[in-house]
Chain A
Amino acid sequence: MGRTVPSITQVFMQEEQSLSRFRRALRRSDQLALDELLSLARQHLAAAAYATHVLPMETFLVAMLLEEHKEVRRLRDEVELLQRSLNAGS
């Protein structure tokens, strides 16, 4: 028996598809950034499925933010480390 509500993967692909006109008009470098953002959201499909939000794109956006924030934190730690070693050196 087929399911009635599409799976989270199908929903994700539809959302991706709906961005295709937007994507086409972007510069190549920006397209790459968009693709990276989408792939970040993709890492959390299982959690997004469990969330059963009526507008799944909102969950995907939060998933992108989450991964972005992880990256910011990582970079912040790295900068702090560099700063400390710079300070120690000077």
Chain B
Amino acid sequence: MQAVSGWLLDVFENTQAAGAVLWFLSDKGERLRLHQPFPITFYVAGPAARLREVWRFLKDHPSAPRLSRDQKRDIFQPQPVDVLAVEVASLSSQQRLFQQLLEQFPTLNYYDADLSLAVRHAAKYKTFPLCRCRVKFYESYLIQDLEVENTRWDLDPEMPKLRVLHLEPDCDPAHAAPLAICAQMNGQSYRFSLQPVRPLLINLQALLKRLDPDLILTRWGDTWLLPYLFELMEKQPFELALNREPGRKYMQRPERSYFSYGQIIYSGQQIHLFGRWHIDQKNASFWTDLGLDGIFEMARVTAQPVQVAARTSPGTGISTMQVLTALEEGILVPWHKQQGERPKTALELIESDLGGLVYQPIVGLHRDVGAIDFVSMYPAIMVRSNISPETCKPHPLETSDEKPGLIPLTLGPLLEKRVALKHRMGLTPRWDPRRKLDAERSGAHKWLLVTCFGYLGYKNARFGRIESHEAVTAGGREALLRAKEASEDFGFNVLHMYVDGLWVKQPGYTQPADFSALLDEIVTRTGLAIALDGVYRWVAFLPSRVNERVPVPNRYFGVFQDGSLKVRGLEARRRDSAPWVARMQMQLLEYLAQAESVDELPEYIPGALAILRQHLADLRKGRVPLTDLLVALRLTREPQEYTVKTAGARAGQQLLAIGKSIRPGQRVRLLYMHGGEVQAWDMPQTVDPRRVDRARYYELAVRAASSVFWPMGIPEADLRAWLQGGIQLAFDFALPAGKRHILLPPREEEKEWAKLFVPGERKLEIVYS
């Protein structure tokens, strides 16, 4: 018998014997593969006569299930349900048995029938990825005792030192055929040529054996690198130790496109390994926002395996947490949700089927504005008003005396952890490295809390209910209006309100402390936590740009008192902007942000205009690399399904024509070319830079710049005329109001521009719209 302390890395089904495999990393740095029996139970409910038939069917079944009768709680039923409990030795035999039962007895209700091994293990042993535990095991590595020493809610979980191997092809495989694989670990870099094959495999094997990484962090590992290596291994044949688990191949999840929050999402195929983790940065949903620590936090709080959490879709994480709560509370997890809506009148429908309140901001430039946000408003309302499928629908923002329901039980600790982390971040100085760690982890919580609301109403959500969803939005509207009333009672002018935030100002109120009385009042009136996002030195709300008929209440930029920028809805923040345009706009904003106060802002306008001219000159002289002009447009359907051939659809069709796959939800990168044409970047032929439609990019840049200059008092038409040269730019600066003049003598470069615009194809004209 041995006992070790360490971290749990992963748990999955044992294929050598019925049960589970657990990979540990001990305090001494050993990587241990332990195993334990792990029987699986699921439940069948229905009329007694039918259940007896099921009993007879299962009694002599080869999988030898243990059968018993029980009473359990179905959250949608007022009374406990009589169920037949079916226990088998392994997850895979449970899944096979469930499929057989479904075919034989399709009309019965099934519970706990399609749950992952990880969530079952978490419910039984309180395990989660990277939890600290003490294990006792026999010489056969059979676990005798497993004790978890911390919880998912620890603010400062102790982290092991993980060994990370970076692997990636030498170029984007969608764009060109890679020639080599680049590896990096412990600061050392290696490059393995793809040809010849044998040395490639031998070298990689040597690296894997020598370093024995816990995590293989790749780029394009899901879509190209690992499938490529596994294919090589089969052809050779050669057993490359990508897995730690001997004899295992890999688990593949195919690519798919699905709807989520009104948006079509593409998720590429996935390759999961056994005993090591594989994370593809290019396929990890949260990589850019959360980083590795955010992904680990996501895995920890949702109790999903790291490889799953890294690629999880919004909703799946929160759903897993709900399932875990249900298992812990002895609540049945329905296989699919059956309950429809409780009947309501058509009048009630009109009065309840609406979302958050979105106001139209008072557009233009404003000084000394306080931005106030409810902290995770919707989840906070669910917890405060105990909103859950099994609880009574409350009046907006009222508390309830009922026992906490499943949803508040799930969200409560997560919300507390987020608030605690946010609080600590507020106290941590900006230079402190812990701040970044906290920010990444807090980001994971934010994602989960944001999606938990949508998930409450989602049609396939197991514990969703329309009435709960409606109660939450009703609470949100009430909270926002109470906050508005409090602000106005305190003499503030409300500039803008957006679902869970409001922007207020009052002459003489310039410091965070000036707003604390208001914050306290809002907390008193709503019972919800609220935070001052900051006090803006100045903030500009913008009108809609693309379509004046569609309101865009979320387009603004501003500078907080510490000089930091906040930008929403502008090109600089949009993922479909050409990097060159986004960077140009960001530079303009960063330059303007240097103004100590709004009074100095006008002095910075000439400099900002110079930045714009500099970028336009770069474009004209061909100094902008083509990769910086790439526009990444998301396809919302199959390329051939578009009736109006958008730029994205045409680029997608180019790729389809040469046999490359492109699916709804994926982004297609393209360049705008002369003659209104586009070219998909992942086409094999090289692009002739002279054919790039620079006039189009000029247009995009001027529009992006105009969003910045417009609120300062410079109309777009004037900006264009000034850029054309020869005129003096005179404008009324918005704040403090006053006439300014900026002289621009005509320059040669403006004349040069005219040559770029092919006659008849696109005129460079001043557009007054």
Contacts and interface: CB of A to CB of B under 8 A. Distances in A.
B551 A5 contact: no
A43 B481 CA distance: 17
A54 B358 contact: no
Contact of A1 (B354, B458, B481, B551): B458
A74 B335 CA distance: 63
Contacts of B358: 45-46
B497 A46 contact: yes
B644 interface: no
A23 interface: no
Contacts of B262: 2
Given A1-B459, A4-B349, A45-B551, A50 B477 contact: yes
B676 to A, nearest CB: 29
B1 interface: no
B355 A3 contact: yes
Interface string A1-29: 11111011100010010000000000000
A16 B549 CA distance: 10
Nearest to A8: B354
Contacts of A5: 349-350, 353-354
B146 interface: no
A46 B360 contact: yes
A52 B360 contact: no
B360 A1 contact: no
A9 B357 contact: no
B457 interface: yes
Max count, chain A CB within 10 A of own CB: residue among B355, B458, B497: B355
Given A46-B497, A54-B350, A7 B355 contact: yes
Main secondary structure of the interface of B (DSSP, over half): loop
Interface residues on A, range: 10 to 19
A8 B354 CA distance: 9
Given A1-B458, A50-B481, A52-B350, A45 B550 contact: no
B645 to A, nearest CB: 25
A62 interface: no
A8 B357 CA distance: 10
Max count, chain B CB within 10 A of own CB: residue among A1, A2, A4, A52: A1
A61 B233 CA distance: 72
A56 B305 CA distance: 49
Nearest to A43: B360
Contacts of B359: 46
A43 B350 CA distance: 21
A42 to B, nearest CB: 7
B351 interface: yes
B347 interface: yes
B564 to A, nearest CB: 29
Nearest to B359: A46
A43 B358 CA distance: 11
A42 B549 CA distance: 9
A43 B553 CA distance: 11
B357 A49 contact: yes
Interface of B: 262, 347, 349-351, 353-355, 357-360, 457-459, 466, 477, 481, 497, 549-551
13 contacts: A1-B459, A7-B354, A13-B549, A16-B549, A43-B360, A45-B358, A46-B357, A46-B359, A46-B360, A49-B354, A50-B354, A52-B350, A54-B347
